[in-house]
Amino acid sequence: MKLDLDPEYEAFRADVSETLTKNRHLAPTSEDKGYKNARRIAWQKLLIEHGLAARTIPKAYGGYGGEADILKARIIAEEFARSRVPGPMAGQGISMLVPTLLELGTEAQKQAYIRPTIEGEMIWCQGYSEPGAGSDLAALRTSAVEDGDHYVINGSKIWTSTAKQADMIFCLVRTDPAAKKHEGITYITFPMSMPGIEVRPLVDMTGSANFNEVFFTNVRVPKSGVIYQPNKGWQVANATLTHERGMLGDPNATKARFLELVTLMKGESVNGQPLIANPLLCDRLMQLQAEVYAMQANGLRITTSRLKGEQAGIAGLIVKLNGCDLNHEIARLAIDALGELGILYEDGEHLRSDGSWQWRYMYDLGLIIGGGTAQIQKNIIAERGLNMPREPKLAKA
Amino acid sequence: MEFALSEDQRMLQDSLKGVLSQSASLDQIRKIAVGDAGAVRALEAALEDFGLASLLLPEAAGGLGLGLLDACLVQEALGYHIAPSRFLASALAAVALADNPGLLGGDAKFALAVTEMASRRDGAGLSLKAGKLSGTALLAISAEEATHLLAADAKGGLHVVDAAGAKAAPMQTIDRTRTFHAVTLSGVKVLSTAKANDRFLAAARLLAAADTLGAAQAMIDKAVAYAAERQQFGRVIGSFQAVKHMCAEMAAKLEPGRALIWHAAHALDIGDAEGPVMANLAKAYLAEAGTFIARTATEVHGGMGFTDLVGLHYWFKRIGVNRQLFGSPEQARQTAAQLQGLVA
């Protein structure tokens, strides 16, 4: 057990901290809205140049070209959080498509897509879920029928975030309806500007449209958009799903929210008494703190496993389930602590924290469901972590 | 950075588990639970052979000078096998007397009377007058055959007295594998005094949490194994999602508790200021997770879980006792809030 870092890493931390301090005046502010804001793109390029974004992506594709180093990645994330300097761009193109291309894309695909994607000039959306294929993703039915050098795509996708803004989509389509359900799927990319694509915003319980529905009617897509091979899309998608699950439930983000809750409970008063002085609220706060500490320690354990090239086992499988639940519970306590004022939303006098606690309480419920529902996570923990038997397949009716 | 057990720590725990799977089989534990003195002695002898007593003794006193993380690993193994042991009391004596280890070595066997540090009920509590300790302390640990008693007074002092001066009356708890006593002292001379600081109570609570970690892990293992064998409706019950999800929930609650205990123990070992906060929160976390697992693992076993035949209730009761030992989860959370200056 050794929790301090070697001098090499402490020096690296100091470098990162200095870079952020020196350049923070160039960072985008709340004024810089929108996906292709010039200041945001310039900031992203600066971060890449200093190895604080796209760190392990080869120089040839526009990245920094650094070696994979879990501790350095961790230090960078911690320094962004600590300094409160805006971090690198995120999004499904950067976090899911780029790693997939690096692993399975052709040279031409890597050359065409990686640089603009990581620099924020090319926005992507993900076409996976369908109205009839949620937890059972492999049941997807959007069809792609060969026609010379093209596929003709018909069907629809749902839960597509950033579909309105996206230049491109990476999409799972059924290319062989006769094959077993996992074996007839192809992973394909194409521009969202193609004729026959319609995007409809999907308003959710938060009141905003964080997601969309996307409809395809005879969309003609060149075969060159296929990633890896036709009918191998399930394997390709699994490579990216691993990346998505890694993003949900980050314990450092949870800790930051917990600290906001502590600040709220120390600063707010009811009947002339600080909220923190209410023993029942304080007890709930401590219950959550125990879980925050536990998930942070669990995260350290996972990092160590990765450093050693070992599987993290159950410690790794529970992160999405526990982390998303904990975020939701933190928001719930904040709302309860605010009491009657906790129900205020969107705008107006007396509103606290811009209404973000209610927004998070709702949005976090979406994350408990999205990215593999809590129930699917429990199946995974039981089957992969505890080696419990799979559900027997139903005989076809 | 390395957040993992060392090779030595893994070996310590594995070899202790090896000894316990022989010497603390459920058959042996059942004998101990009905007061079979031979069974009690056999387990004690096996643990003595293993050298449990010397692990935490300072090197100056002839021990190995191991830390709280090692102690947690030992306590976890004991909890896993629901083995009664003097280890908890002697480990805490080593923490209390770290600056004055003279009394620890040799054949000293410590009993522990510190319940009133967290909770005074029924007029219990010890008071110090002119170097002598008087009063009654409830639910003292390892009082049988003790040579020394480590006892807390009402003002936050910890004192060592000769155990021969204390009158011990058994207190029957739900857990028949471990004995608890009310000890009464009438002006017993204090041999040594230490301050009952945050670190001591934190260490006590952390070790209780580690014991629950082991006991709860055993219950999960048993539930998963049972679900893989028991058949209903023509299939093993572990293939039903209802059962699978119960098991997944148990694992998802317990596994972060393991990391939390490691982190808290390490923080206490290196004197990190966050150590006592983490240890108190670990006590509360494992109390809640343990209670959930004790119930859920019993339910996975269906009716058999409720019977004495399977013996699952020994683990259920071990976890139930640990939950209250050295303070309830509510008290541990209150201590954590106080240590952070969040409440007075």
Residue spans of the domains in chain B: they are 7-195, 198-339
Q: Which of A244, A260, A291, A349 is catalytic?
A: A244
pLDDT digits (tens, 9 = 90+) for B212-269: 999 999 999 999 999 999 999 999 999 999 999 999 999 999 999 999 999 999 999 9
C-alpha atoms less than 13 angstroms from C-alpha of B89 in its C-beta half-sphere? 28
Asked if domains B7-195 and B198-339 share a fold, the reply is no
Q: Which residues contact B279 (CB under 8 A, 6 or more apart)?
A: B202, B203, B205, B206, B209, B264, B265, B267, B268
Is B226 an interface residue toward A (CB < 8 Å)?
A: no
Interface with chain B: mutation pick from A304, A326, A388, highest number of B CBs within 10 Å: A388
Superfamily of domain B7-195: Butyryl-CoA Dehydrogenase, subunit A, domain 2 (2.40.110.10)
With a cut of 80, say whether residue A145 has pLDDT above it.
Answer: yes
pLDDT of residue A249: 84
Residue A33 pLDDT class (50, 70, 90 cuts)? confident
Give the pLDDT band (50/70/90) at residue A15.
very high
Q: What is the CATH number of domain B198-339?
A: 1.20.140.10
Q: A195 pLDDT exceeds 70? A: yes
Confidence of residue B60 (pLDDT cuts 50, 70, 90): confident
Judged by phi (left if over 0) then psi (alpha if -120 to 50, else beta), residue B64 lies in alpha
Residue A397 is predicted with a pLDDT of 54
| Cβ–Cβ below 8 Å for B342 and A262 | yes
Selecting from A279, A286, A295 the residue whose C-beta is nearest the C-beta of B284 gives A286
Rg (alpha carbons) of chain A, rounded to whole number: 23
- Residues of A with Cβ-Cβ distance to B249 under 8 angstroms: 378
Do A388 and B227 make contact, defined as CB atoms within 8 angstroms?
Answer: yes
Residue B339: closest C-alpha in chain A: A286
Query: What tokens does B73 get?
Result: 């690993």
- A396 pLDDT band, cuts 50/70/90, is low
Q: Which position has the token pair 């074996």?
A: A183
Name the minimum distance, in Å, from the CA of B332 to any CA of chain A. 9
Of the listed ranges A4-8, A14-18, B97-101, B120-124, the least confidently predicted one is: B97-101
> Which residues 274-303 of chain A have a CB within 8 Å of chain B?
276-277, 279, 282-283, 285-287, 289-291, 293-298, 300-301, 303
CB of A4 within 8 Å of a chain B CB? The answer is: yes
CA dist B298 and B313 (Å) reads 8
Confidence of residue B87 (pLDDT cuts 50, 70, 90): very high
d(CA A318, CA B16): 29
- Does the pLDDT value for residue B195 go beyond 80? no
Q: Provide DSSP, A259-327.
A: HHHHHHHHH-EETTEEGGGSHHHHHHHHHHHHHHHHHHHHHHHHHHHHHTT---THHHHTHHHHHHHHH
Who has greater pLDDT, A391 or A266? A266
Q: What is the mean pLDDT of residues B51-74?
A: 89
**ipTM > 0.90 for the complex:** yes
How far apart CA A157 and CA A175 sit, in angstroms, is 16
The nearest CA of chain B is from the CA of A40 a distance in Å of 34
Closest by CA position to A132, among listed A243, A198, A62, A213 = A213
Task: Name every chain A residue with its beta carbon within 8 A of the beta carbon of B333.
Answer: 282-283, 286-287, 290
CB contacts under 8 A, B 84-143 vs A, are none
Confirm or reject contact between A394 and chain B (CB < 8 A).
no
Mean pLDDT of A143-171: 97
Backbone angles phi, psi at A265, to 5 degrees: -70, -25
Q: How far away is chain A from the Cα of B234, in angstroms, using its nearest Cα? A: 11
Report pLDDT digits (tens) over A43-73.
999 999 999 999 999 999 999 999 988 889 9
DSSP A219-277: EEEEGGGB-S-TT-HHHHHHHHHHHHHHHTT-HHHHHHHHHHHHHHHHH-EETTEEGGG
Secondary structure (DSSP) of A22-71: HHGGGS--TT--STT-HHHHHHHHHHHHTTSSSTTS-GGGTS--PPP-HH
| Predicted local confidence at residue A56, as pLDDT | 93
Annotation says A244 is catalytic: yes
Min Cα distance B291 → chain A (Å) is: 15
> Model confidence at B61, in pLDDT bands (50, 70, 90)?
confident
pLDDT value of residue B308:
96
Confirm or reject contact between B186 and chain A (CB < 8 A).
no
User: Which phi and psi (to 5°) does residue B182 adopt?
Assistant: -90, 125
Cβ contacts of A44 within 8 Å, gap of 6 or more: A53, A88, A89, A118, A119, A120
Q: Is A259 on the interface with B (CB under 8 A)?
A: no
Q: What is the mean pLDDT of residues B56-84?
A: 92
List the single residue in B240, B259, B336 with the smallest CB-CB distance to A286.
B336
Flag whether residue A148 sits within 8 Å of chain B, measured between CB atoms.
no
Q: DSSP code of A384?
A: I
**Structure confidence at residue A244 (pLDDT):** 57
In chain B, at which residue ranges do the beta strands (DSSP E only) sit?
Answer: 110-113, 125-129, 132-141, 148-152, 157-162, 166-171, 180-195, 231-232, 235-236
Q: Is the pLDDT of residue A27 over 90?
A: yes
Residue of B nearest to A386 (CA): B224
Average pLDDT over residues B9-38: 96
Tens of pLDDT, residue by residue over A221-236, are 999 999 999 999 999 9
In this predicted structure, what is the pLDDT of residue A248?
Answer: 81
Q: Answer whether A378 sits within 8 Å of B3, measured CB to CB.
A: no
**Short-list B31, B10, B33, B13, CA closest to B21:** B13
Q: Tell which phi-psi region holds residue A309, choosing left (phi > 0), alpha (psi between -120 and 50) or beta.
A: left
**H or E stretch covering A197:** strand A197-202
Which has the higher per-residue pLDDT, A243 or B274? Answer: B274
pLDDT of residue B50: 95
**Cα A245 to Cα A247: distance, rounded to the nearest angstrom:** 5
pTM of the model: 0.94
**B191–A contact, CB cutoff 8 A:** no
Which candidate from B251, B259, B333 shows the least CB-CB separation from A381?
Answer: B251
Instruction: Tell me if chain B has a CB within 8 Å of the CB of A31.
Output: no
B126-133 average pLDDT score: 96
Count other Cβ atoms within 10 Å, centred on residue A176.
14
Quote the pLDDT of residue A342.
Answer: 96
pLDDT at A242 > cutoff 70: no
